[in-house]
C-alpha cells in the first residue's frame, strides 16, 4: 500500500511540474543545428497558419516536424491541435490541445473553446460541455453575442450526442467502389435525388492541364461524374472536361435535386460560386452567381433546398459568427441566382 501511494504521489508530482519548454539556446544549447532546423519549421508553418484564411493543411507538417524535436512547447502543441481541428483527422486534435493546456493553462485565450471542440469531436460529451462553459470570447472581440450563440449551439450538439449515444443505431458504410474511388483524393460528392448520378471532386493525374498545386503538391481539382449501372454499382468515373473543368481548381459544391444544375467552386476573386446547367447530356459553362452571393470574401460551399427555390451558402464576409456564416437566399420563380 505504501509503495502504491508513493507511486501515485510521484505521478502527481510529475504532472504538476510539467513545464513549457521554449525553442531557445538555453534549452537546446547542445543541439544548435537541431534547434535551428526546428525553428525554421515553425517559421514555415507560421507563414501558412497566419494567412487569412489560414492554410492549416500546409502548416501542419512543418509543426509536426518541429514537435518531434521539442514535444513540450505549449504554443506549438496548441497550433498542431488547431490544425487537426481543421483537417480530415479532427479527433487527433485532442491530445495536442490537452498537452498544451497541461504545459501552460494560459497558452491561448481560445484554449477552453478549442478543448471543447477536441472533446466534442471525440464524443466526450460531458467534458466538452464543461470546457464550452469555461470558454470566453477573445479580448476586444466585437461579436460577443455571436460567440455566445455559437457556444450554446455546440452545447446543444453535445447534449444531442449524449442522447444519441445512449441509444445507438446500427449503420453500414460501404466503399463506393473502384468506379468512384481512386489512388488519389476523391471527395465532395453530390448525388441526384434518384441516386442514379454522382459528381465529385478529385485530384487525379488526368486533370485538365495535368498541373500540380505548388502549395500542396497534389494535382489540381477537377469534377468527375459516374452513373449507377444495372447491377447497382458505379461506372468508371469520367472527367467532365470543358467547359466545366479548367486548368485551375474546379470543385463540386452542390447539385439540384433534379440533377440539372451544378454548383462549382472556382478560386477566383477570393473564391466564388458558379452554376452550370445541363442541356441534354452536356454541361454548359459555369456562370458566376452574381453579387448577391459572391463577394470579395470567400464563398466556398452551398446547397439547394429540395424545391430548388432557395440556396444556402457559406461566406466569410464581415458580420459572420466564428469566421464563416451560413446564409440563405430566397429565389423568385424562374429567377436566376
- Statement to judge: residues 106 and 213 lie in one domain: no
- Statement to judge: residues 129 and 238 lie in one domain: no
Q: Helices 74-85 and 93-103, interaxial angle, to 10°? A: 160
- Statement to judge: residues 19 and 162 lie in one domain: yes
- Statement to judge: residues 325 and 216 lie in one domain: yes
- Statement to judge: residues 251 and 124 lie in one domain: no
CATH number of the structural domain spanning residue 241: 2.120.10.30
Give, for 295, the enclosing helix (H) or strand (E). Answer: none
For residue 148 the three cell numbers come to 455566445
> Residue 209 in contact with residue 274, Cβ under 8 Å?
no
The parent domain of residue 20 ranges over 15-166
What does pTM read for this prediction? 0.65
- Statement to judge: residues 142 and 223 lie in one domain: no
- Statement to judge: residues 56 and 122 lie in one domain: yes
Order the strands of the 238-239 sheet from edge to edge: 186-191, 197-202, 222-227, 238-239
Is 152 part of a structural domain of the chain? yes
Beta pairing, strands 272-279 & 261-266: antiparallel
Contacts of 104 (CB under 8 A, 6+ apart): 20, 74, 75
CATH number of the structural domain spanning residue 110: 1.25.40.10
Is 178 part of a structural domain of the chain? no
> Residue 200 in contact with residue 223, Cβ under 8 Å?
yes
> Per-residue pLDDT for the chain (337 aa), expressed as one digit of tens each?
454 444 444 444 444 447 999 999 988 988 999 999 999 999 999 999 999 889 999 999 999 999 999 999 999 999 999 999 999 899 999 999 999 999 999 999 999 999 999 999 999 999 999 999 999 887 777 778 888 999 999 999 999 999 999 999 998 999 999 999 999 999 999 999 899 999 999 999 988 878 888 777 789 999 999 999 988 899 999 999 999 999 888 999 999 988 899 999 988 887 889 999 999 889 999 998 888 888 888 888 889 888 888 889 888 877 665 555 555 554 433 334 4
> Residue 300 in contact with residue 280, Cβ under 8 Å?
no
Amino acid at each position: 500500500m505504501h509503495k502504491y501511494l508513493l507511486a501515485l504521489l510521484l505521478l502527481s508530482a510529475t504532472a504538476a511540474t510539467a513545464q513549457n519548454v521554449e525553442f531557445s539556446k538555453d534549452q537546446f544549447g547542445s543541439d544548435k543545428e537541431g534547434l535551428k532546423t526546428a525553428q525554421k519549421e515553425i517559421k514555415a508553418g507560421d507563414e501558412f497558419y497566419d494567412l487569412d484564411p489560414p492554410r492549416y493543411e500546409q502548416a501542419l507538417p512543418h509543426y509536426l516536424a518541429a514537435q518531434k524535436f521539442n514535444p513540450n512547447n505549449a504554443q506549438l502543441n496548441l497550433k498542431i491541435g488547431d490544425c487537426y481541428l481543421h483537417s480530415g483527422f479532427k479527433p487527433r486534435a485532442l491530445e495536442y490541445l490537452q498537452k498544451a493546456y497541461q504545459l501552460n493553462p494560459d497558452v491561448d485565450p481560445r484554449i477552453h473553446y478549442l478543448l471543447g471542440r477536441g472533446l466534442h469531436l471525440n464524443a466526450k460529451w460531458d467534458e466538452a460541455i464543461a470546457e464550452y462553459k469555461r470558454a470566453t470570447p477573445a479580448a476586444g472581440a466585437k461579436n460577443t453575442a455571436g460567440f455566445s450563440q455559437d457556444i450554446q449551439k455546440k452545447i446543444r450538439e453535445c447534449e444531442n450526442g449524449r442522447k444519441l449515444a445512449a441509444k445507438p443505431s446500427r449503420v453500414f458504410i460501404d466503399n463506393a467502389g473502384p468506379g468512384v474511388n481512386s489512388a488519389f483524393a476523391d471527395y465532395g460528392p453530390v448525388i441526384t435525388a434518384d441516386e442514379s448520378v454522382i459528381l465529385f471532386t478529385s485530384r487525379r493525374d488526368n486533370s485538365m492541364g495535368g498541373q500540380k498545386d505548388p502549395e500542396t503538391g497534389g494535382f489540381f481539382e477537377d469534377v468527375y461524374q459516374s452513373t449507377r449501372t444495372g447491377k447497382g454499382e458505379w461506372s468508371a468515373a469520367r472527367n467532365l472536361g470543358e467547359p466545366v473543368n479548367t486548368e485551375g481548381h474546379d470543385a463540386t459544391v452542390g447539385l439540384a435535386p433534379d440533377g440539372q444544375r451544378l454548383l462549382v467552386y472556382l478560386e477566383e476573386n477570393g473564391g466564388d460560386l458558379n452554376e452550370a446547367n445541363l442541356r441534354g447530356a452536356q454541361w454548359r459553362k459555369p456562370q458566376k452567381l452574381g453579387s448577391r452571393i459572391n463577394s470579395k470574401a470567400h464563398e466556398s460551399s452551398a446547397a439547394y433546398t429540395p424545391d430548388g427555390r432557395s440556396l444556402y451558402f457559406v461566406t466569410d464576409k464581415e458580420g459572420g459568427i466564428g469566421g464563416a456564416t451560413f446564409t440563405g437566399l430566397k429565389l423568385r420563380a424562374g429567377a436566376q441566382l
